[in-house]
Homo-oligomer: A and B are copies of this chain.
């Protein structure tokens, strides 16, 4: 439904993540969260991030007390989905399967993760079988 997911810079995304993970917060708080994640920037820099995110429609600012409190207006899923799609498009011509293969070949998985993936893929396969033969 939402018209379009705007492009976000790396720092902007990082900022948004602090809101998804820690809930609504003031500039000061966001700054602390960013610092914990290793991004140590000036107070006004954080304000800039938040302001730009607001212009892009990704966060909302509510006056509470003396300071504004910012909260995410787009879900993590939406952003993640669009970024992943973007990557798939750029690197694999839009085909997801090659990316999955790539990941299976170049990244490592714990036994648990592997089992989960197996289960998931089996489910997908079953769904498809159930749909195709059509009786």
Contact = CB atoms under 8 A, between A and B. Distances in A.
A113 B84 contact: no
A126 B10 CA distance: 38
A67 interface: no
Contacts of A132: 111
- Number of this chain's copies in the assembly equals 2
Nearest to A84: B102
A124 B109 contact: yes
A11 to B, nearest CB: 11
Interface string A13-51: 100000000000000000000000000000000000000
Interface string A85-119: 00110110000110111111111111101111110
